Protein backbone atom coordinates (compact mmCIF):
# COMPACT_ATOMS: atom_id res chain seq x y z
CA UNK A 1 0.00 0.00 0.00
CA UNK A 2 1.30 3.43 -0.90
CA UNK A 3 2.06 5.13 2.42
CA UNK A 4 1.12 8.43 0.88
CA UNK A 5 -2.28 7.43 -0.35
CA UNK A 6 -4.14 8.61 2.75
CA UNK A 7 -2.25 11.89 2.61
CA UNK A 8 -2.98 12.20 -1.13
CA UNK A 9 -6.68 11.65 -0.49
CA UNK A 10 -6.74 14.28 2.24
CA UNK A 11 -4.79 16.80 0.17
CA UNK A 12 -7.23 16.31 -2.71
CA UNK A 13 -10.01 16.80 -0.16
CA UNK A 14 -8.40 20.16 0.69
CA UNK A 15 -7.82 19.41 4.37
CA UNK A 16 -5.64 22.28 5.57
CA UNK A 17 -3.56 20.12 7.90
CA UNK A 18 -2.85 17.61 5.14
CA UNK A 19 -1.90 20.40 2.75
CA UNK A 20 0.52 21.79 5.34
CA UNK A 21 2.01 18.36 5.94
CA UNK A 22 2.44 17.72 2.21
CA UNK A 23 4.23 21.05 1.86
CA UNK A 24 6.60 20.25 4.71
CA UNK A 25 7.42 16.81 3.25
CA UNK A 26 8.17 18.34 -0.11
CA UNK A 27 10.15 21.20 1.39
CA UNK A 28 12.36 18.81 3.33
CA UNK A 29 12.69 16.58 0.24
CA UNK A 30 11.61 13.73 2.53
CA UNK A 31 11.59 10.18 1.19
CA UNK A 32 8.29 9.67 -0.54
CA UNK A 33 7.88 13.34 -1.43
CA UNK A 34 8.48 12.69 -5.10
CA UNK A 35 5.92 9.84 -5.03
CA UNK A 36 3.52 12.26 -3.37
CA UNK A 37 4.06 14.84 -6.11
CA UNK A 38 3.63 12.20 -8.80
CA UNK A 39 0.36 11.07 -7.22
CA UNK A 40 -0.88 14.67 -7.08
CA UNK A 41 0.21 15.56 -10.60
CA UNK A 42 -2.88 14.15 -12.42
CA UNK A 43 -5.00 16.49 -10.29
CA UNK A 44 -3.02 19.61 -11.19
CA UNK A 45 -3.30 21.92 -14.18
CA UNK A 46 -6.57 23.52 -13.19
CA UNK A 47 -5.26 26.48 -11.22
CA UNK A 48 -4.50 29.84 -12.71
CA UNK A 49 -1.08 30.89 -11.40
CA UNK A 50 -0.60 34.62 -10.93
CA UNK A 51 2.92 35.86 -10.18
CA UNK A 52 3.03 39.16 -8.30
CA UNK A 53 6.44 40.77 -8.22
CA UNK A 54 8.03 44.19 -7.87
CA UNK A 55 10.24 46.36 -5.70
CA UNK A 56 10.37 45.82 -1.95
CA UNK A 57 7.60 47.78 -0.26
CA UNK A 58 5.70 48.54 -3.48
CA UNK A 59 2.54 47.17 -1.88
CA UNK A 60 2.50 43.66 -3.32
CA UNK A 61 1.09 42.01 -0.19
CA UNK A 62 -1.52 44.72 0.31
CA UNK A 63 -2.57 44.32 -3.31
CA UNK A 64 -2.60 40.51 -3.05
CA UNK A 65 -4.92 40.87 -0.09
CA UNK A 66 -7.30 42.87 -2.31
CA UNK A 67 -7.02 40.34 -5.10
CA UNK A 68 -7.85 37.53 -2.67
CA UNK A 69 -10.92 39.49 -1.61
CA UNK A 70 -12.00 40.07 -5.21
CA UNK A 71 -11.56 36.44 -6.24
CA UNK A 72 -13.24 35.12 -3.09
CA UNK A 73 -16.20 37.33 -3.90
CA UNK A 74 -16.37 35.55 -7.27
CA UNK A 75 -16.43 32.20 -5.48
CA UNK A 76 -12.87 31.10 -6.22
CA UNK A 77 -10.60 29.29 -3.79
CA UNK A 78 -7.28 31.07 -3.49
CA UNK A 79 -3.81 29.78 -2.59
CA UNK A 80 -0.95 32.18 -1.85
CA UNK A 81 2.78 31.49 -1.84
CA UNK A 82 4.63 34.42 -0.29
CA UNK A 83 8.35 34.26 -1.00
CA UNK A 84 9.93 36.43 1.63
CA UNK A 85 12.86 38.71 1.07
CA UNK A 86 14.28 37.93 4.51
CA UNK A 87 16.12 34.90 5.88
CA UNK A 88 14.17 32.34 7.90
CA UNK A 89 15.94 33.57 11.03
CA UNK A 90 14.61 37.11 11.21
CA UNK A 91 11.12 36.10 10.22
CA UNK A 92 9.97 39.72 10.16
CA UNK A 93 8.64 39.70 6.65
CA UNK A 94 6.88 36.40 7.15
CA UNK A 95 5.03 37.83 10.11
CA UNK A 96 4.37 41.03 8.19
CA UNK A 97 2.76 39.17 5.31
CA UNK A 98 0.66 37.07 7.66
CA UNK A 99 -0.68 40.18 9.33
CA UNK A 100 -1.31 41.98 6.07
CA UNK A 101 -3.30 39.08 4.68
CA UNK A 102 -4.76 38.19 8.05
CA UNK A 103 -8.29 39.16 7.13
CA UNK A 104 -8.31 35.87 5.25
CA UNK A 105 -6.72 33.78 7.97
CA UNK A 106 -10.00 32.27 9.08
CA UNK A 107 -11.39 31.84 5.57
CA UNK A 108 -11.33 28.16 4.58
CA UNK A 109 -11.20 29.12 0.92
CA UNK A 110 -7.78 30.73 1.34
CA UNK A 111 -4.48 28.97 2.04
CA UNK A 112 -1.39 31.13 2.61
CA UNK A 113 2.10 29.65 2.71
CA UNK A 114 5.30 31.58 3.32
CA UNK A 115 8.61 30.40 1.89
CA UNK A 116 11.84 31.82 3.21
CA UNK A 117 14.43 32.53 0.54
CA UNK A 118 16.99 30.24 2.14
CA UNK A 119 17.06 26.73 3.48
CA UNK A 120 15.28 24.81 0.74
CA UNK A 121 16.71 21.49 -0.31
CA UNK A 122 16.75 21.51 -4.07
CA UNK A 123 16.33 25.25 -4.27
CA UNK A 124 13.76 27.93 -3.82
CA UNK A 125 12.38 27.70 -7.34
CA UNK A 126 11.65 24.02 -6.96
CA UNK A 127 10.05 24.56 -3.55
CA UNK A 128 7.81 27.30 -4.89
CA UNK A 129 6.82 25.22 -7.91
CA UNK A 130 5.96 22.20 -5.79
CA UNK A 131 3.95 24.27 -3.30
CA UNK A 132 2.01 25.73 -6.24
CA UNK A 133 1.25 22.20 -7.45
CA UNK A 134 0.01 21.12 -4.03
CA UNK A 135 -2.29 24.15 -3.90
CA UNK A 136 -3.46 23.40 -7.44
CA UNK A 137 -4.18 19.74 -6.65
CA UNK A 138 -6.11 20.72 -3.53
CA UNK A 139 -8.56 22.74 -5.57
CA UNK A 140 -7.33 26.32 -5.33
CA UNK A 141 -8.36 27.72 -8.67
CA UNK A 142 -6.24 30.82 -8.27
CA UNK A 143 -2.71 30.54 -6.91
CA UNK A 144 -0.88 33.82 -6.24
CA UNK A 145 2.90 33.74 -5.92
CA UNK A 146 4.35 36.90 -4.38
CA UNK A 147 8.09 37.52 -4.81
CA UNK A 148 10.36 40.54 -4.62
CA UNK A 149 11.60 41.33 -8.11
CA UNK A 150 15.29 41.50 -7.39
CA UNK A 151 17.10 38.16 -7.52
CA UNK A 152 17.67 35.37 -10.02
CA UNK A 153 15.61 32.92 -7.94
CA UNK A 154 12.71 35.35 -7.90
CA UNK A 155 12.98 35.76 -11.66
CA UNK A 156 12.88 32.01 -12.14
CA UNK A 157 9.86 31.76 -9.88
CA UNK A 158 7.94 34.13 -12.13
CA UNK A 159 8.35 31.50 -14.87
CA UNK A 160 5.94 29.27 -12.97
CA UNK A 161 3.18 31.87 -13.44
CA UNK A 162 0.65 32.03 -16.27
CA UNK A 163 0.28 35.74 -15.71
CA UNK A 164 2.90 38.00 -14.19
CA UNK A 165 1.80 41.20 -12.49
CA UNK A 166 4.59 43.69 -11.80
CA UNK A 167 3.80 46.17 -9.03
CA UNK A 168 5.56 49.53 -8.96
CA UNK A 169 5.13 52.48 -6.62
CA UNK A 170 6.09 56.12 -7.04
CA UNK A 171 8.39 57.98 -4.72
CA UNK A 172 10.90 55.20 -4.23
CA UNK A 173 13.59 56.72 -6.39
CA UNK A 174 14.34 55.23 -9.74
CA UNK A 175 11.86 52.38 -9.47
CA UNK A 176 11.87 51.44 -13.13
CA UNK A 177 15.66 51.13 -13.14
CA UNK A 178 15.82 49.31 -9.84
CA UNK A 179 13.92 46.28 -10.97
CA UNK A 180 15.63 43.32 -12.58
CA UNK A 181 15.51 43.62 -16.36
CA UNK A 182 14.24 40.09 -16.90
CA UNK A 183 11.26 40.85 -14.73
CA UNK A 184 10.16 43.79 -16.85
CA UNK A 185 10.58 41.61 -19.92
CA UNK A 186 8.27 39.03 -18.38
CA UNK A 187 5.60 41.48 -17.23
CA UNK A 188 2.09 40.85 -18.55
CA UNK A 189 0.35 43.56 -16.55
CA UNK A 190 1.77 46.53 -14.66
CA UNK A 191 0.19 48.02 -11.55
CA UNK A 192 1.36 51.44 -10.45
CA UNK A 193 0.29 51.29 -6.82
CA UNK A 194 0.18 54.10 -4.24
CA UNK A 195 -1.52 56.35 -6.78
CA UNK A 196 -2.55 58.46 -3.78
CA UNK A 197 1.05 59.63 -3.74
CA UNK A 198 2.70 62.16 -5.92
CA UNK A 199 4.58 60.82 -8.89
CA UNK A 200 2.27 58.00 -9.98
CA UNK A 201 1.70 59.57 -13.39
CA UNK A 202 5.40 60.01 -13.93
CA UNK A 203 5.99 56.36 -13.02
CA UNK A 204 3.35 55.44 -15.61
CA UNK A 205 5.17 57.57 -18.18
CA UNK A 206 8.53 56.03 -17.28
CA UNK A 207 7.06 52.60 -17.81
CA UNK A 208 5.53 53.57 -21.14
CA UNK A 209 8.83 55.00 -22.29
CA UNK A 210 10.80 52.04 -21.06
CA UNK A 211 8.51 49.62 -22.86
CA UNK A 212 8.49 51.54 -26.13
CA UNK A 213 12.27 52.00 -26.11
CA UNK A 214 12.91 48.52 -24.85
CA UNK A 215 10.86 46.55 -27.32
CA UNK A 216 13.58 45.90 -29.86
CA UNK A 217 16.12 44.96 -27.25
CA UNK A 218 13.61 42.98 -25.21
CA UNK A 219 12.67 40.93 -28.25
CA UNK A 220 16.27 40.43 -29.34
CA UNK A 221 17.10 39.19 -25.86
CA UNK A 222 14.10 36.88 -25.75
CA UNK A 223 15.00 35.38 -29.10
CA UNK A 224 18.56 34.84 -27.99
CA UNK A 225 17.37 32.97 -24.93
CA UNK A 226 14.87 30.99 -26.94
CA UNK A 227 11.82 32.43 -25.19
CA UNK A 228 8.55 33.07 -26.89
CA UNK A 229 8.20 36.81 -26.98
CA UNK A 230 5.10 38.67 -26.05
CA UNK A 231 6.31 42.23 -26.43
CA UNK A 232 4.71 44.53 -28.94
CA UNK A 233 6.14 45.32 -32.34
CA UNK A 234 4.83 48.82 -32.57
CA UNK A 235 5.56 50.32 -29.20
CA UNK A 236 3.57 50.55 -26.06
CA UNK A 237 0.12 52.04 -26.23
CA UNK A 238 -1.57 53.07 -23.02
CA UNK A 239 -5.34 53.44 -23.15
CA UNK A 240 -6.81 52.47 -26.56
CA UNK A 241 -5.45 49.06 -27.42
CA UNK A 242 -4.19 48.54 -23.89
CA UNK A 243 -7.81 48.43 -22.81
CA UNK A 244 -8.13 45.03 -24.45
CA UNK A 245 -4.42 44.24 -24.37
CA UNK A 246 -4.69 42.33 -27.64
CA UNK A 247 -3.96 43.74 -31.10
CA UNK A 248 -5.23 42.40 -34.41
CA UNK A 249 -2.32 40.02 -34.80
CA UNK A 250 -2.87 38.66 -31.30
CA UNK A 251 0.11 40.32 -29.69
CA UNK A 252 -0.29 41.10 -26.02
CA UNK A 253 0.45 44.65 -24.93
CA UNK A 254 1.06 44.85 -21.18
CA UNK A 255 -1.43 47.38 -19.82
CA UNK A 256 -0.51 49.78 -17.02
CA UNK A 257 -3.10 50.28 -14.29
CA UNK A 258 -3.00 52.72 -11.44
CA UNK A 259 -4.34 51.62 -8.07
CA UNK A 260 -4.42 52.38 -4.36
CA UNK A 261 -4.20 49.02 -2.66
CA UNK A 262 -4.77 50.33 0.87
CA UNK A 263 -8.19 51.64 -0.20
CA UNK A 264 -9.00 49.02 -2.81
CA UNK A 265 -9.20 51.65 -5.56
CA UNK A 266 -8.55 50.36 -9.07
CA UNK A 267 -8.60 46.72 -7.99
CA UNK A 268 -11.57 45.72 -10.15
CA UNK A 269 -9.96 47.25 -13.24
CA UNK A 270 -6.80 45.35 -12.36
CA UNK A 271 -8.72 42.08 -12.00
CA UNK A 272 -10.28 42.72 -15.41
CA UNK A 273 -6.86 43.25 -16.98
CA UNK A 274 -5.57 40.03 -15.40
CA UNK A 275 -8.60 38.15 -16.70
CA UNK A 276 -8.03 39.54 -20.20
CA UNK A 277 -4.49 38.25 -20.09
CA UNK A 278 -5.74 34.87 -18.98
CA UNK A 279 -8.19 34.80 -21.88
CA UNK A 280 -5.34 35.71 -24.22
CA UNK A 281 -3.14 32.88 -22.96
CA UNK A 282 -5.98 30.40 -23.20
CA UNK A 283 -7.58 31.61 -26.37
CA UNK A 284 -4.88 32.62 -28.81
CA UNK A 285 -2.12 30.73 -30.61
CA UNK A 286 0.45 33.23 -29.41
CA UNK A 287 -0.78 32.87 -25.87
CA UNK A 288 -0.50 29.11 -26.02
CA UNK A 289 2.98 29.30 -27.51
CA UNK A 290 3.88 31.53 -24.61
CA UNK A 291 2.50 29.01 -22.14
CA UNK A 292 4.45 26.17 -23.73
CA UNK A 293 7.64 28.23 -23.71
CA UNK A 294 7.22 28.68 -19.96
CA UNK A 295 6.61 24.98 -19.48
CA UNK A 296 9.76 24.23 -21.48
CA UNK A 297 11.64 26.58 -19.22
CA UNK A 298 10.36 24.82 -16.11
CA UNK A 299 11.22 21.44 -17.52
CA UNK A 300 14.74 22.59 -18.33
CA UNK A 301 15.15 23.91 -14.80
CA UNK A 302 13.97 20.67 -13.29
CA UNK A 303 16.13 18.67 -15.70
CA UNK A 304 19.16 20.73 -14.75
CA UNK A 305 18.57 20.00 -11.06
CA UNK A 306 18.08 16.29 -11.64
CA UNK A 307 21.08 15.95 -13.94
CA UNK A 308 23.36 17.69 -11.49
CA UNK A 309 22.11 15.49 -8.65
CA UNK A 310 22.60 12.37 -10.78
CA UNK A 311 26.05 13.41 -11.96
CA UNK A 312 27.26 14.27 -8.47
CA UNK A 313 25.87 10.99 -7.19
CA UNK A 314 27.35 8.84 -9.97
CA UNK A 315 30.69 10.56 -10.43
CA UNK A 316 31.52 11.48 -6.82
CA UNK A 317 35.14 10.17 -6.65
CA UNK A 318 35.82 11.16 -10.26
CA UNK A 319 34.85 14.74 -9.43
CA UNK A 320 37.25 14.75 -6.48
CA UNK A 321 40.00 13.40 -8.72
CA UNK A 322 39.27 16.04 -11.35
CA UNK A 323 39.48 18.82 -8.74
CA UNK A 324 42.87 17.50 -7.65
CA UNK A 325 44.08 17.22 -11.26
CA UNK A 326 43.09 20.81 -12.01
CA UNK A 327 44.52 22.06 -8.72
CA UNK A 328 47.89 20.46 -9.46
CA UNK A 329 47.63 21.79 -13.03
CA UNK A 330 47.86 18.38 -14.65
CA UNK A 331 44.59 19.04 -16.51
CA UNK A 332 42.86 22.24 -17.57
CA UNK A 333 39.33 22.79 -16.22
CA UNK A 334 37.77 22.59 -19.70
CA UNK A 335 39.16 19.15 -20.42
CA UNK A 336 38.31 18.05 -16.89
CA UNK A 337 34.67 19.06 -17.46
CA UNK A 338 34.56 17.31 -20.83
CA UNK A 339 35.99 14.15 -19.31
CA UNK A 340 33.40 14.19 -16.54
CA UNK A 341 30.57 14.63 -19.03
CA UNK A 342 31.98 11.77 -21.13
CA UNK A 343 32.23 9.55 -18.05
CA UNK A 344 28.63 10.36 -17.09
CA UNK A 345 27.38 9.65 -20.60
CA UNK A 346 29.19 6.32 -20.69
CA UNK A 347 27.13 5.06 -17.75
N1 LIG B 1 -0.01 55.32 0.56
C2 LIG B 1 -0.15 54.05 0.22
N3 LIG B 1 0.51 53.10 0.92
C4 LIG B 1 0.36 51.82 0.55
C5 LIG B 1 -0.47 51.44 -0.55
N6 LIG B 1 -0.41 50.10 -0.67
C7 LIG B 1 0.41 49.65 0.29
N8 LIG B 1 0.88 50.68 1.05
C9 LIG B 1 1.78 50.61 2.22
O10 LIG B 1 3.09 50.29 1.78
C11 LIG B 1 3.76 49.50 2.76
C12 LIG B 1 4.31 48.24 2.10
O13 LIG B 1 3.22 47.45 1.69
P14 LIG B 1 3.37 45.88 1.43
O15 LIG B 1 2.08 45.41 0.92
O16 LIG B 1 3.96 45.20 2.60
O17 LIG B 1 4.47 45.89 0.29
P18 LIG B 1 5.25 44.64 -0.32
O19 LIG B 1 5.57 45.02 -1.72
O20 LIG B 1 4.49 43.39 -0.11
O21 LIG B 1 6.57 44.62 0.55
P22 LIG B 1 7.69 43.45 0.65
O23 LIG B 1 6.96 42.13 0.62
O24 LIG B 1 8.37 43.70 1.95
O25 LIG B 1 8.59 43.64 -0.53
C26 LIG B 1 2.75 49.22 3.85
O27 LIG B 1 2.96 50.12 4.89
C28 LIG B 1 1.42 49.49 3.17
O29 LIG B 1 0.41 49.89 4.06
C30 LIG B 1 -1.17 52.49 -1.25
O31 LIG B 1 -1.90 52.25 -2.22
N32 LIG B 1 -0.94 53.75 -0.83
MG1 LIG C 1 5.08 41.52 0.78
Enumerate residues lining ligand 1, CB below 6 A. 56-62, 85, 93, 100, 148, 193-194, 196-197, 260-262
Which ligand places an atom closest to the C-alpha of 65? 1
- Å from CA of 147 to ligand 2 middle: 8
Helical (H) or strand (E) element with 94? helix 92-100
- Å from CA of 42 to ligand 2 middle: 31
Per residue of the chain (347 residues), give pLDDT as tens.
465 689 999 999 999 899 999 998 988 888 888 899 999 999 999 999 999 988 888 899 899 999 999 999 999 999 999 886 443 333 333 444 454 555 666 678 889 888 876 666 667 778 888 999 999 999 999 999 998 876 677 777 777 899 999 999 887 655 566 566 667 777 899 999 999 998 899 888 888 887 777 655 555 544 554 444 444 333 333 333 445 677 667 788 899 999 999 999 999 999 999 999 999 999 999 888 888 888 888 788 778 878 888 898 899 999 999 999 999 999 999 999 999 999 999 98
Pocket test for ligand 1, best of 54, 62, 95, 258 (most atoms within 8 A of CB): 62
| Distance in angstroms (rounded) separating the CA atoms of residues 80 and 65 | 10
Which ligand places an atom closest to the C-alpha of 193? 1
| Distance in angstroms (rounded) separating the CA atoms of residues 98 and 79 | 13
Burial track 239-250 (b if 16+ CB lie within 10 A, e otherwise): eebbeebbeeee
- Å from CA of 193 to ligand 1 middle: 9
Which ligand places an atom closest to the C-alpha of 259? 1
The helix/strand/coil state of 73 is helix
Show Cβ contacts of residue 117 under 8 Å, excluding neighbours closer than 6 positions: 83, 84, 85, 86, 87, 124, 151, 153
Specify burial of residue 13 (Cβ count, 10 A radius: 0-12, 13-18, 19+): exposed
- Å from CA of 265 to ligand 1 middle: 14
Question: Taking the model in full, what pTM does it have?
Answer: 0.80
Amino acid sequence: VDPNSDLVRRVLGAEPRAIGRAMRLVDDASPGSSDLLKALWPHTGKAWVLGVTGNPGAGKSTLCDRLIEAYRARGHRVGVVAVDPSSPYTGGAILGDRIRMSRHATDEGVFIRSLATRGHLGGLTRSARDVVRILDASGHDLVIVETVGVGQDELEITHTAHTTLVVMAPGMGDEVQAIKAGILEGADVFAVNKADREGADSTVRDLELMISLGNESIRALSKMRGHATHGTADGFVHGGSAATGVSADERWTPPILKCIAVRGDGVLELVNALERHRAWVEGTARGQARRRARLAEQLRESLRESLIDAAVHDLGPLIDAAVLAVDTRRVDPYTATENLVAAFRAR
